[in-house]
Structure 1
């Protein structure tokens, strides 16, 4: 391929056609030329979209429309055009000398006389372009292209020179970080972010008396060198935030300043700035604190964090993370009833590293998920071993971090571990930290409900340390409430005891088990017993211990209390059969609906969820069906008639959809069907048409209609709740179109009436003390009848 020759572009502004052509002839071999006949045409070219590509201008002074002096003046007023070198041209007389002086004084870079001499023209154009490019390069190296402040490298260079120049003067480096700057870019766009940076630069320039030099050393970081100040308490840090507030960005922009007091001038300036930045980062998110002075503790913390980050993956791979169990004791019997799994890092060089040193860092960098899965797997493996060995089993609680909660695959990960070791989910308690609720409560609630439906025990850890505790109790399916020790640290104070008593009483009313963690003294134990608390955990009973030590403790407890246990008679084979039959009957009762004999809602949901977990690429059809006007039927004809229709609909579904075992009544008159594949469209529609055909029932003067809503997997959902919501939406739309209809779900469907308002209206009507009828104005059909007439009729 031929080499592309990129020539620089020259603008020739000359009213004489002959001179224009002459200049083009002289320069065309070395440059791309553009011509203009007067100053106005020249400015139009320079201000056009590609005007910045002009490398130099040859400008005649005397021209019609607009002369060369006016062109020079306007170019100097424009920041971009002022960077383009201009070579002015005029005659060789005395008047030409005066024009040369005037042009140079107005910013022209060079001057040539007419008639044009080729060699002189070429050299002066080349020199003008070279000098401007060199100056531009130096300016680019020295100054930040956005703010005009010193660039990072030039700031480092100048700061070092200044400090070395006066070795007796003490200096400080300040680094200023814009808190939540990334959020400004995300919410308002890069241009607003750039405007904010320029506004900061302008503020710093206005206050240049406070420092020696200033530079932009990072995307949102500014650095300053100034003479040492002993006390920064009166420095104008907070007023900078006030100036930025006037920009109108509704994010409460705040600057965080880190100060490094230079002790060793031989230290690279880059490291000085790094230390100042560490100090600034340490106060992010702390209200009312605008600066922090760097000290060695910060440096050590940074080194420790770097060690942790560099070694965490290797440590997990090499088994350096050890799972310990801390027993939980019943306050009534003082026996171990469960345990909490805690993790310790045993580094061969540093020794024991406690969770407080690495957990928060892992939560920030995402490694906490890898560590948590390791802990969960270790616990499940140990519980499986207890079962295989015939040992006493106690549930083990594991921590589920905020990062885990927002992982859409959390339920699948936990379920896969339960299946891997063939365990019941009840053996694994999931501890959720209360603070997780304050970030994205909707997502948290959805994730926790998924885990609860799978059978896991949900424990709320650190209750009382957050801000939404009561809301959380109402919205989350919590089984166990863990009280934070800080409620008991000031137990002698009346208010603290009252608060603790209130929380325990509230938990009892909600049928929650209460665990008091951090119990360390007999006084705390007695207080908890008096308050009727269930379980305690803390150093008073036992510290966290290796799993083997916990097993020994559990075994010793079993031996100690075995003498007190009642003698268990040997069970005969006949009794075994009776027990098995009773268990089977109980299991059947828990799975089936008592009216129709089909699956109940819980079992339908469990089977559908299991279907999704067992199939990597599931497909299928989900149907929700109900009886049109069922509430009216119950009201007019009685509940026996209603139950009979429920059985009829259940029987129809079982006969129509023989290809699936997942058919159930999921509430009221609603039924669900899941087909584990997508059948032929004609076959499915045929069955739905038969389902929705009217039927006659003895004693009723009008036909009975069934309606249905349909959705498919994976397009319309891959979990029970999503499929149910979408199929029910289609069902409501079908009923809105008239009785005995079915519809397939579409993404743009909206409910025909707000369900909340419908429920409220029904509630208001039901609470009426007089008889209330609601009928269809068009057909005269009764669509609602209150309880008063029911009582009169029956």
Structure 2
């Protein structure tokens, strides 16, 4: 049922007021006031709810004329229609009432039918006018709406054929940031200030309207003398009235020549002129000219053929190599797109990418590039090339696709690729558009296993707080930023700060646009990870890129053959020689330099700094335990504690002292040498330590995406096998644990796979937290995990550790809707039995633990004898 409209009756005579209420009440809700003063109080409370006022003229306290004069001056009341009622029917009284702002005039005594007809008619007229007004005017600024602005301009041009006009449009640079940083109310105030400026700019003869968001337009008489000062002054006025500094506006001017051109296109041309100078400091306005016209024609031609071009595969994927800055070896690539048009020839991305971003076709092109890139990676894998990753661009339009994650996941699955082989580059400026939406989407992609790169870092406006919230793996520095910063002295640039920030956030850094050796050396000094640019290679077709892969493969084989002939494990990576005695250090370095790349340190702090900077490239360390500033023992402790460097082989040196040697070995040194001793002995001990330990190449293998479970980050079956192959014999005896997440199938079916995935990831995190950095952790199956704990030969210790992990998981469960726990079976392994046999015995121990009650742990002898005396278990739950 529709609610009744409200009518305010202002009448001092109680009988007349009662009569009006009886006439109106069946159709309307009536509010009453005895005089103008009371009526004003009612208006203050209910002004937006009153549809009409019936007003007596002769009243005490405040008469009708005074009341009319007050509400006419108040914009909040002025639009409410007023019917004046009086006993006089003289023309003079009627004119006086209408002059005071009344809408209609009626005389007493009241004719009920006449009153009702007039009230209904006036209310209907008012509502119709409100609808028309809403259509004609922008609700926020009061300027003409876009459609009505177009209409008024057409009418004006038709009515004044001899007058020359200009369409002037404006656009506020980075207006989205105003709303993001200062809030929407501040943005609205700024837009109202722009509207006020336009109204003053055109005066009574011009026409202004709001086209969209922060885009405004006006029609004004043509002038030839536009100057920067004219627009600077307009911008200053906006900044002042909008209470906001440094507002930058770009203006575009289209001189109306072809009056048959739709007004929409006239405005488009003016906005195109404004867009031409966007981002250019000191440029305030631009005029539409033939160059811009030709650009529009060219863009239209591109739009006409873009779909056919995609269907005919005229777009070609080019690859730009990425190199490790330390080894200067190929480490990956970025997929770029080029257009080979059959008639126009080779088209630069600058000619079509911005247009596709504006018209939305970029989504189709991006998916085409992703598909082609996956096909290229699949081809490389089938040939046997190293499984390097390739990054692809993800545009703003792609991010707002609801099914983006599904599209990408199905694509990599179709080509048999791990998600981490496809790095997703998202430009920095995209994160400022709708941070919450984008962060949510990108976080989901990262959880699925994709590697996320922030492209063009240093060109946008991301705050440190926003950067801290973003789900990122890699920062990619903007080309212009690199070129400007590497030209500055070391102590004046901010590149070092950015590298430190990236290290603190555990991010890798890629620098693009590297063109000179000087830039490369500067980036190497401050610890950049990867580079790309013309110094190494230009973008190239995938066939040419394959030749780089072949060359790197052959170079790798030659290097390994040479290393073998020299009796060395590998020549790749660096050897850190940390020794405070200059002569002794030089002696060691001179010998090792024939086979290795050397880093020298003379203090403990300096050694630690090099370890942090070159953690991915270090193959071994010669460490003096008597270093100044920070002792060698402190450095050794950090080396063994940090997962990233725990397995770097270390040869410790110190003056003869058995206790020092014992302490060094206990703290994790791989070997020990008394000093001074010959450099030859140091070399031999270092090579032996490297042969016993994980070589640099083997360690890298364990970090390859193909060896990792994308959900938990633990090793998968392939990674587990690789880790076991290079495991040291000296690690025996070991404890092998097989964990099973109880009720996971029921969780997936009842509460959804999302919660199931979270449980798996949480258990992976728990294993990381409850194990040592040199233990082997793997996701063995859907809900099974395998853990190999080194140097653990006690069944009691293994049982305690298994119970600790099971109890920790049960206490950290994510839901109370189903019982969540994990059960464990363990076996002590002496490394002389195949791992498959040990896993089979661990599975039997797991079965026994489940019989005793889920959530417990059972330990089985390696011999696997069937009698119960060979099993230790705890059947109770923690």
Q: TM-score range by the shorter chain?
A: 0.5 to 0.7
Counterparts in 2 of 1:605 and 1:464: CA distance versus 1, 3 Å: closer
Task: Identify the match of residue 712 of structure 2 among 612, 618, 621.
Answer: 612
Query: Which of residues 196, 202, 212 is equivalent to 1:202?
Result: 196
1:173–1:224 Cα contact (<8 Å) kept: yes
Q: How does 1:307-322 map to 2 (within 5 A)?
A: 319-322=313-316
Distance 2:116 2:666 in 1: 102
Correspondence for 1:464 among 437, 459, 482: 482
Determine the structure 1 residue equivalent to 2:514: 484
Do the aligned partners of residues 19 and 658 (structure 1) sit closer, same or farther apart at CA in structure 2, a change above 3 Å counting?
closer
Cα separation, partners in 2 of 1:349 and 1:34, compared to 1, 3 Å: farther
- Provide closer, same or farther for how the CA distance between residues 76 and 653 of structure 1 changes in structure 2, counting only shifts above 3 A: farther
Q: Secondary structure, in 3 states, of the residue corresponding to 1:382?
A: helix
1:71 and 2:215 matched: no
| Alpha-carbon distance between aligned partners in 1 of 2:133 and 2:424, rounded to the nearest angstrom | 64
How far apart, CA to CA, are the structure 2 residues paired with 1:423 and 1:126? 68
Aligned to 1:537: 537
Give how far 1:464 is off: 2.4
TM-score, length basis structure 2: 0.54
Counterparts of 1:465 and 1:287, CA distance in 2:
19
Question: What secondary structure is seen at the aligned counterpart in 1 of 2:71?
Answer: helix
Contact in 1 for aligned 2:98/2:104 (Cα 8 Å): yes
1:435 is matched with which residue: 427, 447, 456? 456
Aligned to 2:534: 518
Partner of 1:43: 40
* 1:26 is the counterpart of 2:126: no
1:657 to 797, 801, 806: 801
1:214–1:222 contact (8 Å) kept in structure 2: yes
Matches of 1:30 and 1:268 in 2, distance apart? 48
Would the aligned equivalents of 2:331 and 2:388 in 1 still touch at CA under 8 Å? yes
Contact 1:463 1:484 in 2 (8 A): no
Offset of residue 380 of structure 1: 1.6
In the TM superposition, residue 81 of structure 1 has moved relative to its aligned partner by: 1.4
Report 1:114-133 matches (<5 A): 114-133=108-127
State the alpha-carbon separation in 2 of the partners of residues 103 and 196 from structure 1.
40
Shift of 1:511: 8.2
Contact persistence 2:499–2:528 (CA under 8 A)? no
- Change in Cα spacing, 1:109 to 1:609, as seen in structure 2 (3 Å) is same
- CA positional deviation for 1:174: 0.7
Measured in 1, the distance between the counterparts of 2:189 and 2:815 equals: 60
Specify the alignment match of 2:79 in structure 1. 83
Moved more, 285-294 or 648-657: 648-657
Query: In structure 2, do the counterparts of structure 1 residues 203 and 437 end up closer, same or farther at CA, with 3 Å as the change threshold?
Result: closer
The number of aligned residues is 590
Matched residues in 1 for 2:497 and 2:411: separation?
Answer: 28
For residue 382 of structure 2, the aligned residue among 361, 385, 388 is 385
Does the CA contact (< 8 Å) of 1:480 and 1:515 recur in 2?
Answer: yes
Q: Mean Cα displacement is larger for which, 297-306 or 249-258? A: 297-306
Structure 2: distance between partners of 1:482 and 1:466? 12
Kindly report which structure 2 residues correspond to 1:158-169, keeping only aligned pairs within 5 A, or say none. Answer: 158-169=152-163
| Inter-partner Cα distance in structure 2 for 1:197 and 1:325 | 44
Structure 1 residue 272 displacement after superposition: 0.7
Could you report, residue by residue, the CA deviation over 1:73-107 in whole angstroms, capped at 9, with x for unpaired residues? 221122121112222222238xx766544433322
Corresponding position: 1:293 with 2:287 = yes
Question: 1:137 Cα shift?
Answer: 4.8
Report if aligned partners of 2:272, 2:292 keep a CA contact under 8 Å in 1. yes
Instruction: Tell me which residue corresponds to 1:724.
Output: none
Contact 1:400 1:432 in 2 (8 A): no
Residue 171 in 1 paired to residue 165 in 2?
yes
* Equivalences for residues 747-762 of structure 1 within 5 A: none
CA contact (8 A) 2:57 2:84 kept: yes
Q: Give the alignment partner of residue 257 of structure 2, picking from 249, 263, 274.
A: 263
Matched, 1:279 2:278: no
Kept in 1, the 8 Å contact 2:141–2:195? The answer is yes
Query: In structure 2, how many angstroms separate the alpha carbons of the residues matched to 1:157 and 1:679?
Result: 60
Asked if structure 2 preserves the Cα contact closer than 8 Å seen for 1:181 and 1:220, the reply is yes
Question: Deviations along 1:319-350, whole A, 9 cap, x unmatched?
Answer: 443234578999xxx99999875432345676
Which residue of structure 2 aligns with residue 224 of structure 1? Answer: 218
For residue 75 of structure 2, give the secondary structure of its aligned residue in structure 1: coil
CA contact (8 A) 2:478 2:511 kept: yes
Taking a change above 3 Å as real, the CA distance of residues 345 and 483 of structure 1, as seen in their structure-2 partners, is: closer
Taking the TM superposition and a 5 Å limit, the aligned residue runs for 1:349-498 are 352-359=346-353, 367=363, 370=367, 373-374=370-371, 376-387=373-384, 398=391, 420=416, 435-437=456-458, 439=460, 440=462, 450=473, 464-465=482-483, 467=485, 468-474=494-500, 475=502, 484-485=514-515
How many Å apart are 1:267 and its aligned residue?
A: 0.8
In 2, Cα distance between equivalents of 1:171 and 1:554 = 62
Contact 1:276–1:293 at 8 Å: present in 2 too? yes
> Any gaps of 5 or more consecutive residues in structure 2?
426-450, 486-493, 565-619, 621-645, 651-664, 671-692, 717-755, 773-789, 825-877
Q: Bigger CA drift: 69-78 or 128-137?
A: 128-137
Q: CA 1:398–1:300 in structure 2 vs 1: closer, same or farther (change >3 Å)?
A: farther
Is the CA contact (8 Å cut-off) linking 1:328 and 1:336 kept in structure 2? yes
Shift of 1:117: 2.9
Residues of 2 paired with 1:185 and 1:70: CA distance? Answer: 44
Aligned to 2:442: none
State the Cα distance separating 1:648 from its structure 2 match: 8.5
* Aligned residues of 1:459 and 1:481 also touching (Cα < 8 A): yes
Matched residue, 2:728: none
What is the distance in 2 between the residues matched to 1:197 and 1:317?
Answer: 43
CA contact (8 A) 2:83 2:104 kept: yes
2:186 aligns with 192
For residue 53 of structure 2, give the secondary structure of its aligned residue in structure 1: strand
1:215-250 CA distances to partner (integer Å, 9 max, x unpaired)? 223332222112222242266111011112223644
Cα pair 2:23 2:112 within 8 Å, conserved:
yes
Where 1:257 maps in the other structure, the secondary structure is strand
| CA distance in structure 2 between the partners assigned to 1:314 and 1:219 by the alignment | 34
Is 2:174 aligned against 1:148?
A: no
Corresponding residue for residue 213 of structure 1: 207
**CA-to-aligned-CA distance 1:339-374 (integer Å, 9 cap, x gap):** 875432345676543333345566786748645633
Q: Residue 80 of structure 1: SS of its match in structure 2?
A: helix
Does the alignment pair 1:103 with 2:97? Answer: yes
Q: Give the superposition deviation at 1:265.
A: 0.5
RMSD: 5.9
Q: Deviations over 1:20-71 (max 9, x none)?
A: 222233334444433322223322222213x323222221122233322222
CA contact (8 A) 1:178 1:255 kept: yes
Per-residue Cα deviation, 1:724-764 (whole angstroms, up to 9, x for no partner) = xxxxxxxxxxxxxxxxxxxx9xxxxxxxxxxxxxxxxxxxx
Question: Which residue of 2 is the match for residue 735 of structure 1?
Answer: none
Aligned pair 1:16/2:13, yes or no?
yes
- Whole-Å separation in 2 of the counterparts to 1:66 and 1:16: 14
Q: Answer whether contact 2:190 2:242 (CA < 8 A) is retained.
A: no
Q: Within 1, Cα distance between the matches of 2:334 and 2:140?
A: 54
Deviations along 1:536-586, whole A, 9 cap, x unmatched?
435xxxx834x4466579889999x9xx999999x9xxxxxxxxxxxxxx9
Residues 194/590 of structure 1: CA separation in 2 closer, same or farther (3 Å cut): closer
C-alpha displacement at 1:175, in angstroms? 1.1
Cα distance change, pair 451–685 in 1 and its aligned pair in 2 (3 A): same
Name the CA shift for 1:69/1:401 in 2 (closer, same or farther; >3 Å). closer
Distance 1:85 1:653 in 2: 89
